[in-house]
Homo-oligomer: A and B are copies of this chain.
Amino acid sequence: MTELEKGPLGQRRGRGARERILSASQRLFRDKGINRTGMDQLCAEAQVSKRTAYQHFATKDDLVTEYLRRFDPDVMPGVFDRPDLTPRERLLAAFEIPATTPLCPYIAAAVELHDPAHPASQYARDYKTAIAKRLTETARKAGATNPEQLGEQLALLIDGASARTRVLDTDSFPTAATIAAVLIDNAIPS
A-side residues, CB < 8 A to B, are 32-33, 35-36, 106-108, 110-112, 114, 116, 121, 124-125, 128-129, 149, 152-153, 155-164, 166-169, 172, 175-176, 178-179, 182-183, 186
Contacts and interface: CB of A to CB of B under 8 A. Distances in A.
Contact of A112 (B111, B124, B125, B169): B111
Contacts of A163: 107, 159-160, 162-163
B175 A164 contact: no
A125 B153 CA distance: 25
Q: Quick one: copies of this chain in the complex?
A: 2
A91 B114 CA distance: 31
Contacts of A121: 167
A111 B153 contact: no
Contact of A167 (B35, B106, B161, B164): B106
